[in-house]
Amino acid sequence: MAQATTAGAAAAKSVQHVSKPLPLEYLRKRWLQAVVLFGFFFLYFPIIALMATSFNEDKRNITWKGFTTDWYVKAYNDASLFNALVNSLTVAVVSTIVSTIIGTMLGLALYRYRFPNKASFESIAYLPIVIPEISMAVAMLAYFAQFLEVPLGLFTITVSHIAFSFPFVAVVVRTRMAGFDESLEEASRDLGASGQQTFWNVTVPYMMPGIIAGALLAFTLSLDDFVITQFTSGPGSTTLPIKIYSMVRFSVTPTVNAASTVLIVITLTVAVAAMAMQARSEKNMVKKNG
Amino acid sequence: MDSRKPIISIRNVSKRFGGSVVAVDNANVEIGEGEFFALLGPSGCGKTTLLRMLAGFENPTEGEIIIDGHRMEGVDPNRRPVNMVFQSYAVFPHMSVLKNVGYGLRVTGVPPDETQRRALEALALVKMEQYADRMPNQLSGGQRQRVALARALVKRPRVLLLDEPLSALDAKLREAMQLELVRLQHAVGITFVIVTHDQDEALSMANRIAVMESGKVRQIAAPADLYEFPNSRFVADFIGKMNLFEGQVTGAAGNSIVIDIAGLNRITVPYSGHAQGGVGVAVRPEKIRIDHAEPPNDRVKLRGKVTEVAYFGDESAVFLENATGVNINVNVPNDARRTAAPFAIGDEMWISWNPADTLVLAE
C-alpha cells in the first residue's frame, strides 16, 4: 500500500517534469553534457589561456613560473602601445556619439514615416551591416585617398567607423520603437505640450534604452575594428587592435597578452552593460503589458 | 435639442481618408454645456474619427467645428479647450503617477508648487492620492484609467473627451466605473463626450446619444427616446432587442394606418406621419405578452408555437414561430416565484401587444 502511494507520487512528479522541464534538465543527458563542455572549451579556452599567460612570469610563456602584473606595467609604460589605446578610445567615443545621433534619427524616421520606396531605402540604409568588411574598407580607402584626397589618420578612421556603426544603432532604436504607443505622443499634445516638448519629454525617454544599447554596440564595434581601421589609418594614428597585430608579427609576448586582456575587459564590460540595459527595458515592457 | 447653451457645434463635417474612404459623412451635432454626450455605433462607424476631430488629431475634410464659440480650423491639439482620455489610457510609463497628472500643467509653465497642489487635488478627485509616488507599471488597468482621468481633468478643460474608456476593463469594474464617471461629471460640471460601442454604457451614462452608422449620424436623442422611438430600422435594431418585420402600407384611417406584414396578419396601428409602400414594423420583446387564452380584441394578436425558452433568472426569452415560419421573440418577466414556465416547447400560444407599442419605421 505504502509502495503504491510512493509510486503514485513518483508518477505525479515525473508528469510534472514532462509538462515543465527545469532549465538545466538537458544536462542529465550525458552526450549533451559532453557537447556543451566541448563547446565551452573550444570557445573560451584560448581567451582564458590568453588572460592567464598575461600574468605569467615566464618571458617566453612556455611554463608557469609565477604570478606577476609586470607585463601590465610594461604595456602601460610602452608609449606607442599606450598611445594606440588612447587613439582607440578617442575614435570610439567620437564615432559612438555621432553614429548614435545619426542612427537614432534614422531609426525614428524608419519607424515613423511612410514614403515611396521605403523598403528599398531601408535595405540600402542597413547595407553596411551585411556588406563584407573588406569591401567597405577598400571603398573607404579609395574614397578618402583618391576621391577626396584627405590625409589618412584619426579623422578618416572616425568617419569610417561612423559609417559602419550607425545602421546598428538604427536597427536597435527602430526595434525599440516598434512597441511604442503613439497615443502617448497624442496625449502629450492634448495636454498642452508643443511638438518639441512632446519629443523630448515623451518620445526620447521611451527610446532611451534603445539609444543606450545602440551606443554601447557602436562603441564596442569601433573599439574592436581591425580591417576598416587598417585601411583608413595613417602614420601616427595606430589603434590598439592594429598595434597588437603589428607586435604579434614579431612574437607573442606577455605584453601583447596584457594589452589584449585590457581590450577584452573594456569590450566585455560595455557589452554586458548593453545586455543589462536591454533586459531591463524588456522587463519593463513585459510588466507594462502584463 | 437640449435647451442648454451649445459648447460644441459640429456643422456639416465630413472626413475622407485617402480621397475615397468616408469615415464621417456630413455630421451635424450640437452638444450643450454640461451634457454627458455619447457617440454610439458599431466599430468603424466613424465615432472615434469624429472625437479625434474634436481633439484636433484629425482635420475635417469639409465643414466646421466650433468649440466654446471659437472655430477650431487650424487650431493645434495643444491649443484646444478640450482634453482626452485615450482608449489605451496613454499613461506615460517613465513618470510617476504624480508627474503624469502634473504633466499638462508643467509643460504650459504653471509654477511647480501650484502644479503639485493641483495634481494632488485631481488625484483626490479620482481617489488615487495614495498612489501618487507609484510608477504606472505598478498599477492595475482600472487605476491607470483613473490616472488618465485625473491627468485630463487637472487642465480644467471645457470638454472632456473619452475614447472607449471602459472597453479594457472587466465587467464588474466597468459597471463600477460607469457610476464613477457619472459621479465625476456631476462633481466637476464639465461637458463629457464619450465614444462607445456598448449601448448599455451609453444608455446608462449619457443624457443624450448620437447613434452613428457608416459615417452618418442616424439619430440624436435622450436614452429613453432612442429606445422607445428609434427613427430607423438601423437604430431600432442596434439599440436593445427588437422584433423587426417588413410590411406594406395598405390604407390609412384617421390617426391609424393599416399594414400588411409579410407572413403575419394585417394590423392597424396608430401613426401620425405619412408612410407609404414598404415600412419596417418593430415591437420590443418585453412589450409582447403570450397567453393560452385569447387576448381582448383591442390588442394586436397572432398565433405561434414555442420553439425555445432561454432562462435568465429575472426574465425568460421565449422564441416563437408562427405557421408561416416568422420568428417572434418575447421577454417574459419572472415576476412570481415559480420554477416551471407556464408553457412548454411546442405549445400553441396567443401572442399579443398593445397597438400603441408598435413602431412604424419608414427609414
SS3 letters across B232-288? CHHHHHHCCCCEEEEEEEEEEECCEEEEEECCCCEEEEECCCCCCCEEEEEECHHHC
- For residues A186 and A285, what is the distance between their CA atoms, to the nearest angstrom? 20
Q: Which member of A189, A191, A287 has the closest CB to residue B151? A: A191
Contact at CB, B103 and A181, closer than 8 angstroms: no
For residue A88, the one-letter residue type is S
Phi-psi region of B215 (alpha: psi -120 to 50; beta: other; left: phi over 0): left
| Backbone Cα Rg of chain A | 26
- For residues B174 and B166, what is the distance between their CA atoms, to the nearest angstrom? 6
Would you place residue A104 in the very low, low, confident or very high pLDDT band (cuts 50, 70, 90)? very high
Closest B-chain CA to A188 = B104
Per-domain residue ranges for chain B?
6-234, 241-361
**Residue A199: predicted pLDDT:** 94
Residue A15 confidence (pLDDT) above 70: no
**Residue A27: predicted pLDDT:** 66
Would you place residue A115 in the very low, low, confident or very high pLDDT band (cuts 50, 70, 90)? confident
Contact at CB, A202 and B92, closer than 8 angstroms: yes
3-class state of residue B166 by DSSP:
coil
From chain B, the residues in CB contact with A288 under 8 A are 93, 136-137
- Rounded-to-5 percentages of helix, strand, coil across chain B: 25, 35, 35
- Rounded-to-5 percentages of helix, strand, coil across chain A: 80, 0, 20
Burial A154-179 (b: 16+ CB within 10 A, else e): bbbbbbbbbbbbbbbbbbbbbebbee
pTM of the model: 0.78
Task: Return all residues near A156 (Cβ < 8 A) that are at least 6 apart.
Answer: A140, A144, A150, A232, A233, A234
Contact at CB, A192 and B107, closer than 8 angstroms: yes
Closest A-chain CA to B151 = A191
Average pLDDT over residues A164-168: 94
Residue A9, classified by CB atoms within 10 Å of its CB into exposed (0-12), middle (13-18) or buried (19+), is exposed
Q: Which member of A184, A192, A202 has the closest CB to residue B78? A: A192
- For residues B259 and B247, what is the distance between their CA atoms, to the nearest angstrom? 6
User: What confidence tens digit (pLDDT) does each residue in A31-55 have?
Assistant: 888 888 999 999 999 889 888 888 8
CATH code assigned to B6-234: 3.40.50.300
Contact indicator for A152, A160 with CB cutoff of 8 Å: no
Task: Return all residues near B140 (Cβ < 8 A) that are at least 6 apart.
Answer: none
Contact at CB, A184 and B55, closer than 8 angstroms: no
Output the nine-digit C-alpha cell for B349: 400560444
Q: By a Cβ cutoff of 8 Å, what residues of chain A touch chain B? A: 181, 183-184, 186-194, 197, 201-202, 205-206, 284, 287-288
**Residue B51: predicted pLDDT:** 93
- For residues A199 and A188, what is the distance between their CA atoms, to the nearest angstrom? 9
**Closest Cα partner for B273 from B176, B171, B362, B145?**
B362
- For residues B15 and A61, what is the distance between their CA atoms, to the nearest angstrom? 79
Output the nine-digit C-alpha cell for B361: 419605421
Contact indicator for B282, B246 with CB cutoff of 8 Å: no
Q: Which member of B77, B137, B155 has the closest CB to residue A189? A: B77
Return per-residue pLDDT of chain B as tens, 363 residues: 445 678 999 999 999 888 778 899 988 999 999 899 999 999 888 899 999 999 999 999 999 999 998 999 889 999 999 999 999 999 999 999 999 999 999 999 999 999 999 999 999 988 898 999 999 999 988 899 999 999 999 999 999 999 998 887 888 888 888 888 999 998 888 999 999 998 888 998 999 999 999 889 999 999 999 999 998 889 998 988 898 888 888 887 778 888 888 777 788 888 777 777 788 888 999 999 988 888 888 888 888 889 988 888 888 899 998 888 888 899 988 888 877 777 888 888 888 888 888 888 887
Q: How far is B161 from chain A (nearest CA, A)?
A: 11
Beta-bridged to residue B283, according to DSSP, are: B243
Contact at CB, A191 and B55, closer than 8 angstroms: no
Contact at CB, B93 and A284, closer than 8 angstroms: yes
Closest A-chain CA to B90 = A184
Contact at CB, A205 and B152, closer than 8 angstroms: no
**Which of B86, B135, B143 is most worth mutating to test chain A (most A CB atoms within 10 A of its CB)?**
B86
Asked if the ipTM is above 0.85, the reply is no
**Residue A166: predicted pLDDT:** 94
Contact at CB, A187 and B92, closer than 8 angstroms: yes
- For residues A240 and A6, what is the distance between their CA atoms, to the nearest angstrom? 64
- For residues A174 and A125, what is the distance between their CA atoms, to the nearest angstrom? 13
Contact at CB, B107 and A181, closer than 8 angstroms: no
Task: Return all residues near A202 (Cβ < 8 A) that are at least 6 apart.
Answer: A184, A185, A187, A188, A193, B92
Q: Which member of B90, B104, B137 has the closest CB to residue A183? A: B90
Residue A60 confidence (pLDDT) above 70: yes
DSSP class per residue in B101-136: HHHHHHTTT--HHHHHHHHHHHHHHTT-GGGTT--G
Contact at CB, A193 and B151, closer than 8 angstroms: no
Contact at CB, B90 and A206, closer than 8 angstroms: no
Q: How far is A147 from chain B (nearest CA, A)?
A: 46
**Residue A281: predicted pLDDT:** 62
From chain A, the residues in CB contact with B76 under 8 A are 189
Residue A141 confidence (pLDDT) above 70: yes
**Which of A184, A190, A208 is most worth mutating to test chain B (most B CB atoms within 10 A of its CB)?**
A190
Q: Which member of A193, A206, A284 has the closest CB to residue B107? A: A193
Contact at CB, B103 and A189, closer than 8 angstroms: no
- The CATH classification of domain B241-361, taken from the options 3.40.50.720, 3.30.870.10, 2.40.50.140, 3.40.630.30: 2.40.50.140
Q: How far is A124 from chain B (nearest CA, A)?
A: 29
From chain A, the residues in CB contact with B104 under 8 A are 191-193
- B208 or A281: which carries more pLDDT confidence? B208
**Residue A283: predicted pLDDT:** 60
Contact at CB, B93 and A183, closer than 8 angstroms: no
